[in-house]
Structure 1
Amino acid sequence: MAEDKKKKSISKGRREALKTLATVPVLGVMAYGVYKKEKNERSKRLAADMFRFKEKPVPPPVTDGKRIRIGIIGYGIRGKDLMNALGFSTPQHVEDLKTAWKSNAQDSRYKDFMEQEDLNVEITAVCDIFDKHAEEAMAAGANIHREGLNGKYGPTPKRYRNYKELLAADDVDAVIIATPDHWHGTMTIDALKAGKDVYCEKPMTWTVPETYMVREAVRTSNRVFQLGHQNRQIETYNRAREIVERGLLGPVTLVETSTNRNDPNGAWVYPIDPEANPKTIDWKQFEGDPERIKEYLDYMTSAGLAKYIGPDSRDKFNLERFFRWRCWWDYSTGLSGDLLTHEYDAVNQILQLGIPDSASSSGGIYFFKDGRTVPDVLHTVYEYKDRNLSMLYSATLASEFNRSRKIMGHDATMEIGSTLSVTVDPRSEQYKDQIEKGVIKPGQPFYTYTPGQKDVDAISSATQLYFAQRGLLYSYVNGKRFNTTFLHIKEWLDCIRSGRKPSCGIEEGFQEAMTAHMGTRAYLEGRTMYWDRDKEQIVRG
């Protein structure tokens, strides 16, 4: 009965309000409209004043435009992307892009690729242990004019069957490493010792011990090292960093970031090539460097984690493991090394967090029960005591529900992806007067920044969708759209020529690697891991 009376009262109130509005003179309605418009304009002016940014300075042109000779190690999924960013693709891929563009004018990948700046590089050497991938890399490297089938191609790069032979080549100045995780550290160290500049895909290392070794090798090499976090080139993140630095969010106490995917491709169940077999794949070389493997096996055994090791895998040829290697700790760094590192590096460049004081993780194999040993659901909490801040990473490979990256301050929360928005907190002290005056409406985006991107085209997999939502596919420079991987590789090449410091060098890489390893070990050992800043060591709780 009380509920019915309440509903009748609300209904009556609405009717009375409508009657009142009907009696308001036209001028009164117009005056209210003017007032509302002025209030909105005041809000917009305030936002414009608060969020006025300086344009990011463009680095001076590189004076020494020498041609750089590059060797490619690994031409799988990511290796192809990196070669495309260099300006090299197989004739068949160019044909496919052209066909897609003709059938869909909004698919601008062909146009973007053809208009991409010439980076003045030459692919002189390729190495892949799968014959088909090696042959494709050679065809891409010879396609110097970015032509389709039946085009005029240049010299074919030399194929090396072992990466050490490639590193010994005199006509290789720099290398790009796009191999499975368990090879990253070993190949980086060997390349630096051979006097090559290095671009290595993330994560930087597979194990904790080799993380120190890579750092030492870079510091003593006098070569340029760039870790492949292309999000360093995203303009949205630069703007987010300035918002934090100017205190517009107030004290930041919590960061939430996540990865959601929901299909086999996103869970690393990649297709198995029908041409793959023991005769076309060097399985022994795929398995890894014996010394690093022994270190890994010794650690897993001493920590009581032998159950995570595939005991027979290293002697038996296995196509599933070769193409879907991310699913096993024997070759992978799991969600921490693959996807958490993207999120961590984005937050780290905005907040300058560094290595956390502690890490706690939980999760498991909840959906993809296909023999994998790495989890498909993971939650990791990093604590930064001196910053009075926690960072929460949460991931599932069995749901595509979109969760934005949030940096939560006492006065406002910033959400960052392909766009950026700032929402003022109702309890804000910094904006209390503006809230009371009605200039700022809490709970709604007060400031929004959208780069020039209108559409996300050619999304063909869960991985690409994730990259697009996170702003990892494209960035904008002076209003023009660029592939972020192209910008990141270009920066690396410019640093080689000029001596400048790359944005994701060894110090940033060391922070990324140790942070990811802390999360992984916390999950594997079921205990909190701590960082001893004086000794620079991960210690068990």
Structure 2
Amino acid sequence: MKQKPSRRAFLKKVTLGSAALTTAPMVLASRGNETILLGRHYEQSLYSTNDQINLGVIGVGIQGIYDAKDALKVGGCKVVAACDLYTGRLDRAKELWGSDIYTTRDYRALLDRKDIDAVIVATPDHWHKKITIDALKGGKHVYCEKPMVQKWEDGQAIISAQKKSGKLCQIGSQGMASLGNEKAKQLYEEGAIGDIVMLDFFNDRYSAEGAWQYPIPPDANKETVDFDTFLGSAPKVPFEPKRFFRWRNYRDYGTGVAGDLFVHAFSTLNHVIGSHGPNRALATGGLRYWKDGRDVPDVSITLYDYPKTETHAAFNAAFRINFIAGSGGGGGFKLIGTEGEMEVGQNAVTLRRSKLNMVPGGYSMVSFTEEMQEKIKEGYASQNLETRESALSTGTTTWQAPKDYKGGRYDHFYNFFQAIRGKGKIVQDPTFGLRAAGAALLANDSYYKKQPVNWDPTAMKMI
């Protein structure tokens, strides 16, 4: 998709008139602020037991449980097995999905079962590569939580394994298949914001839970937790429940705020603008408040450079995370262009277009005589820099999902299951997943090296 002249495309849409506004992505200024409902059609099918997709959940922690719940909402699937290294979570799996499901602390035993069609991999990040590859080799379709890998060097192995297996692998940045992303992509391709010049992304949190201080069960001990297996390829350390239940706080097992949060933004950004990703990153930050033994920052600011491509102009992106935001918290994702801006969420997209003032006002005219001011005004007027057409193309429109929208997480699993049944393509395959994860992980590389880092977004490797 090559970017077309944006203003011309925009004005063409505007001339269609108000009757076309529900289908065309543009808005007339004369209508003021508008809200337009989005819609989603789902194929309604009844599946027999033989058509059912049997799921195994590997990692029955917070994300694994939410993933399984969303998968079951889609229908046509059943959780038949669960694996976790803490016995309490296996008990929880039986509470949620039935006492007859198969449970184990060895994921290999789960993969050996012939009655499992697909698995959800929701383990700590440092286990993603091995379990995903083993599952693909074992003939299972895989839904792997983001980030796809803990280290960008591991990504090509998953891409290769998926291609060799003939099975599908969906990476789990849940907003990818949402109505918001879908509409934002359409708007961008229609030229709604002109040429992109900046992305502004932030996530502020103000709670212990939001800062990953997850609860530790009182029965956590060497018998109930298989800590040695949890460590896997990570350095060997004595049993420590905090490392197991709050693994996101440690570089050995997680990927910090970049892998947990940046990767969602990169998935949406690359999808909306058709990009392969940035080519340079510079990160800073620090551990400002949550000094609980963690070795990853709780405040992080990273600046990215995106090169010019066929689908977008060269631009910059600013990513900011604050886990001790006294404001109370919040978040945002905003694409800013030469002719407008889009605020993008899973359930809504708001487009704002303003009039670009090309004619000088009183501020810069004050140093000229009255006679010269009149001559300057006449000169600008003769150029016709501010046309009526450009004024008509301003305004604010919000495209909003309906109240009964099933949500982006539902859509992501719907996409996964439809692809398994041969009724569509995966929206976030391993190549896409590596580009999103690799870009996010640049923040960690730059932060710990204390210098800018360079990335080849096409070849997906550091340079």
In which range does the TM-score fall when normalised by the shorter chain?
A: 0.7 to 0.9
Say if 1:440 and 1:69 are closer, same or farther in 2 by CA, change over 3 A.
closer
Other-structure match for 2:11: none
Deviation at 1:324, TM superposition (A): 0.9
2:323 to 385, 389, 397: 397
In structure 2, the partner of 1:72 is: 57
Q: Which residue of 2 aligns with 1:492?
A: 416
Tell me what 1:528 maps to.
Answer: 452
Equivalent positions of 1:443-522 (< 5 A) are 446-453=396-403, 480-498=404-422, 500-522=424-446
Contact 1:415 1:422 in 2 (8 A): yes
**1:320 aligns to what?**
242
Select which of 236, 243, 248 maps to 2:180.
236
Question: What secondary structure does 1:198 align onto?
Answer: strand
The answer (yes or no) to whether the contact 1:236–1:420 under 8 Å persists in 2 is yes
Q: Secondary structure at the match of 1:522?
A: helix
2:6 — aligned with what?
none
Question: Distance in 1 between the 2:196 and 2:456 partners?
Answer: 24
Mean Cα displacement is larger for which, 490-499 or 423-432?
423-432
What RMSD, in angstroms, separates the aligned Cα atoms of the two structures?
A: 2.9
Q: How does 1:251-330 map to 2 (within 5 A)?
A: 251-288=195-232, 290=233, 293=234, 314-330=236-252
The equivalent of 2:31 in structure 1 is none
Residues 300-449 of structure 1: pairs in structure 2 closer than 5 A: 314-386=236-308, 387-399=313-325, 400-417=328-345, 418-427=347-356, 432-434=386-388, 439=392, 446-449=396-399
Pair 170,536 (structure 1): closer, same or farther in 2 beyond 3 Å: same
Distance 2:448 2:69 in 1: 37
C-alpha offsets along residues 477-502 of structure 1, whole Å, 9 cap, x if unaligned?
A: xxx32143232222212211216321
Q: Secondary structure at the match of 1:512?
A: helix
CA distance in 2 between counterparts of 1:449 and 1:224 reads 32
The answer as to whether partners of 1:139 and 1:156 remain within 8 angstroms in 2 is no
Aligned equivalent of 1:29: none
Q: Deviations over 1:46-105 (max 9, x none)?
A: 993652899878576779971222111111111111221233xxxxxxxxxxxxxxxxxx
**Structure 1 counterpart SS, 2:66:** helix
CA distance in 1, matches of 2:414, 2:457: 34
Go from structure 1 to structure 2 and tell me whether the alpha carbon gap of 1:535 and 1:509 turns closer, same or farther (over 3 Å shift): closer
One-letter code aligned to 1:449: W
Query: Structure 1 residues 528, 164: CA separation in 2 closer, same or farther (over 3 Å shift)?
Result: same
| Local SS of the residue matching 1:71 | strand
Change (3 A) 1:46 1:273: same
The two structures have a TM-score, normalised by structure 2, of: 0.80
CA distance in 2, matches of 1:491, 1:192: 19
Contact 2:355 2:390 in 1 (8 A): no
Q: 1:431 to 1:187 in 2, by over 3 A?
A: farther
Task: Note if contact 1:47-1:446 (Cα within 8 Å) is conserved in structure 2.
Answer: no
SS of match in other structure, 1:404: strand
C-alpha contact 1:531 1:537 (8 A) present in aligned 2: yes
Equivalents in 2 of 1:181, 1:81: separation in Å? 17
Is the 2:340–2:351 Cα contact (8 Å) retained in structure 1? Answer: yes
If the length of structure 1 is used for normalisation, what is the TM-score?
0.69
For the residue of structure 2 that corresponds to 1:280, the secondary structure is coil
Is this contact kept in 1: 2:25–2:187, CA < 8 A?
no
Bigger mean CA offset, 221-230 vs 132-141: 132-141
Q: Look up the SS of the partner of 1:84 in the other structure.
A: helix
Over 3 Å counting, the alpha-carbon distance change for 1:436 and 1:535 in structure 2 is: closer
Q: Is the 8 A contact 1:62 1:494 kept in 2?
A: no
Rg larger for: 1
Q: State the alpha-carbon separation in 2 of the partners of residues 337 and 219 from structure 1.
A: 24
Please give the alpha-carbon distance, in whole angstroms, between the structure 1 residues aligned to 2:244 and 2:148. Answer: 20
Q: 1:82 to 1:168 in 2, by over 3 A?
A: same
1:81 to 52, 66, 71: 66
**Which residue pairs with 2:374 in the alignment?**
none
Point out where structure 1 has 5 or more consecutive residues left out of the alignment: 1-41, 88-115, 143-154, 294-310, 454-479
**What displacement does 1:347 show?**
1.5
**Paired residue secondary structure (1:250):** coil
SS at match of 2:65: helix
Distance 1:56 1:390 in 2: 32
Shift of 1:260: 0.8
The change in CA–CA distance for 1:401 and 1:129 in structure 2 (over 3 A counts) is: closer
Structure 1 residue matching 2:421: 3-state secondary structure: helix
Equivalences, count: 405
Letter in 2 for 1:339: L
8 Å contact from structure 1 (residues 327, 373) kept in 2: yes
Shift of 1:404: 2.6
Structure having greater relative contact order (Cα 8 Å, sep ≥ 6) = 2
Asked whether the equivalents of residues 258 and 343 of structure 1 are also in contact (C-alpha less than 8 Å), the reply is no
Match of 1:136 among 89, 92, 115: 92
1:220 counterpart residue number: 164
Q: Which amino acid aligns with 1:390?
A: N
Equivalent pair of 1:361/1:380 in contact (CA under 8 Å): yes
Q: Tell me which residue corresponds to 1:304.
A: none
Q: CA deviation at 1:369?
A: 1.6
Task: Give a deviation string over 1:183-233, Cα, whole Å, max 9, x none.
Answer: 111110111111111011111001122111111111211001111111022
Which stretches in structure 2 are left out of the alignment for 5+ residues? 1-14, 28-35, 359-383
Distance 1:517 1:273 in 2: 31
Q: Give the letter for the 1:481 counterpart.
A: Y
**Does the CA-based 8 Å contact 2:263-2:436 persist in structure 1?**
yes
For 2:251 and 2:433, locate their aligned partners in 1 and report how far apart those are by CA, in whole Å. 21
The Cα of 1:372 is off from its aligned counterpart by 0.9
Residues 1:265 and 1:75: Cα distance change in structure 2 (over 3 Å): same
| Deviation at residue 428 of structure 1 after TM alignment | 6.5
**CA 1:51–1:124 in 2, change beyond 3 Å: closer, same or farther?**
same
Would the alpha carbon gap of residues 428 and 446 (structure 1) be closer, same or farther in structure 2, given more than 3 Å must change? farther
